[in-house]
């Protein structure tokens, strides 16, 4: 992977598309991307490359991806050795991109290619380094989800020098220098929304309305969302640890006051301590809080461990590159009919 970091990249744009069980819509998406590539080439002379990263799909997404025609842009198809998760798929795309600028776009058709043109304009005409899209509003989501998102960003950005923008999606364009900065991040645990804001440079928010999923179902469930949230929190914020310490201080202070009062009652007022309920409450509160704080520390220790192991974030099982002018030199095309 390090060799790829030093690699010299061509002037142009690579669109990275993570693909997990998207066989049903891949061809339609590719057709749209090809017409986008044609427009960008005609209007701006911009060279395009599409990188499909198959994240261990169980359907024939990869077979489809590798047989898609390179009509208007270079096409790379990578398949990872198993399902590593979307963030790892994005990293694989970032590493294998052959053009300087990067556009991350979902493979389920929720990210409109038309908006991509606007992002390209912001980069090329107005020289922004990071153009990220964000959901214009969340009213249609359940209240509990809205609330948990609010709390998540509040804790995440607690005391942060470079706050991570709320509701930003993974649909974003990075200029060559921003993409390079992203590649220099040494950590294994990736939280791209956070990282691409953390690097700085000139950032701009583009509000948009995600299209409904064209087919299939979102692969995020409560567990996966919770996992990503913990991932984001522990990667970008020490606030949970700080909250834990504050809680400790608060409880100790209360315990001290309460203890003094009991002593006063026993010694000065001469009252026996009836005590059972209060003792039980104290034991339960302290026991609960200790477990909670231990759990929070455990999350950070788990993170330290996984960074220490320095395992690669993904393995590529197969890859295929089809260049735009491949009409001249035939490329291996076993998967074609
Ligand atoms: N994805 C992936 N690996 C996974 C899960 C999802 O590469 O383990 C891809 C998926 O194919 C899609 C994108 O990530 O292109 C977003 O996934 P999804 O639509 O399920 O998420 P949502 O749009 O609901 O956030
Ligand atoms: Mg989606």
Q: Cβ distance 30 to 55 under 8 Å?
A: no
- Ligand 1 pocket: which of 86, 87, 167 to mutate (most atoms within 8 A of CB): 86
Residue indicated by tokens 């690579």:
14
Looking at residue 149, what is its pLDDT? 79
Ligand 2 center from residue 138 Cα (angstroms) = 15
The response to whether residue 84 sits with its C-beta less than 6 Å from ligand 1 reads no
Ligand 1 within 6 A of CB of 219: yes
The string of pLDDT tens digits covering residues 36-89 is 999 998 888 889 999 999 999 998 999 999 888 888 889 999 999 999 988 899
DSSP string, 221-288: -HHHHHHHHHHHHHHH--HHHHHHHHHHHHHHHHHHHHHHHHHHHHHTS------HHHHHHHHHHHHH
From 210, 67, 219, 232, select the one nearest 156 (Cα to Cα). 232
The pLDDT confidence band at residue 98, using thresholds 50, 70 and 90, is: very high
Ligand with smallest separation from the Cα of 170: 1
Predicted confidence (pLDDT) at residue 2 exceeds the cutoff of 70: no
122-156 residue pLDDT tens:
999 999 999 998 877 767 777 877 787 788 888 77
Looking at all shown ligands, the one closest to residue 20's CA atom is 1
pLDDT tens digits for range 187-231 = 777 788 788 888 889 899 888 877 766 666 666 677 777 777 787
Contact (Cβ atoms closer than 8 angstroms) between residue 202 and residue 127: yes
Q: 105 near 16, Cβ under 8 Å?
A: yes
Tell me what the mean pLDDT of segment 111-122 comes to: 89
- Ligand 1 atom, smallest distance to 20 CA: 11
């Amino acid at each position: 992977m390090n060799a790829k970091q030093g690699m010299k990249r061509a002037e142009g744009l690579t669109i990275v598309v993570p693909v997990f069980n998207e066989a049903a819509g891949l061809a339609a998406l590719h057709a749209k991307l090809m017409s986008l590539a044609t427009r960008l080439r005609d209007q701006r002379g911009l060279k395009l490359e599409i990188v499909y990263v198959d994240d261990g799909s169980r359907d024939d997404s990869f077979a489809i991806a590798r047989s898609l025609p390179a009509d208007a842009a270079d096409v790379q198809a990578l398949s990872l050795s198993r399902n590593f998760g979307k963030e790892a798929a994005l990293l694989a795309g970032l590493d294998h991109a052959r053009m300087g600028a990067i556009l991350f776009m979902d493979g389920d058709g929720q990210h409109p290619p038309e908006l991509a043109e606007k992002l390209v304009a912001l980069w090329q005409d107005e020289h922004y380094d990071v153009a990220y899209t964000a959901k214009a509003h969340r009213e249609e989501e359940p209240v509990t989800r809205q609330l948990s998102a609010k709390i998540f960003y509040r804790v995440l950005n607690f005391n942060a020098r470079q706050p991570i923008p709320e509701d930003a999606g993974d649909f974003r364009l990075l200029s060559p220098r921003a993409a390079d900065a992203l590649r220099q991040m040494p950590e294994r645990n990736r939280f791209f929304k956070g990282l691409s804001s953390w690097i700085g440079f000139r950032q701009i928010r583009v509000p948009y309305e995600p299209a409904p999923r064209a087919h299939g179902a979102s692969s995020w469930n409560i567990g996966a969302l919770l996992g990503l949230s913990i991932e984001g929190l522990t990667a970008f914020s020490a606030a949970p640890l700080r909250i834990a310490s504050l809680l400790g201080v608060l409880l100790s202070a209360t315990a001290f006051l309460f203890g003094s009062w009991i002593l006063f009652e026993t010694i000065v007022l001469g009252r026996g301590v009836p005590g059972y309920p209060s003792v039980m409450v104290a034991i339960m509160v302290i026991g609960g809080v200790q477990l909670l704080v231990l759990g929070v520390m455990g999350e950070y220790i788990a993170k330290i461990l996984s960074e220490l192991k320095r395992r690669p974030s993904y393995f590529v099982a197969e890859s295929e590159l089809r260049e735009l002018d491949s009409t001249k030199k035939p490329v291996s095309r076993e998967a074609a009919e």
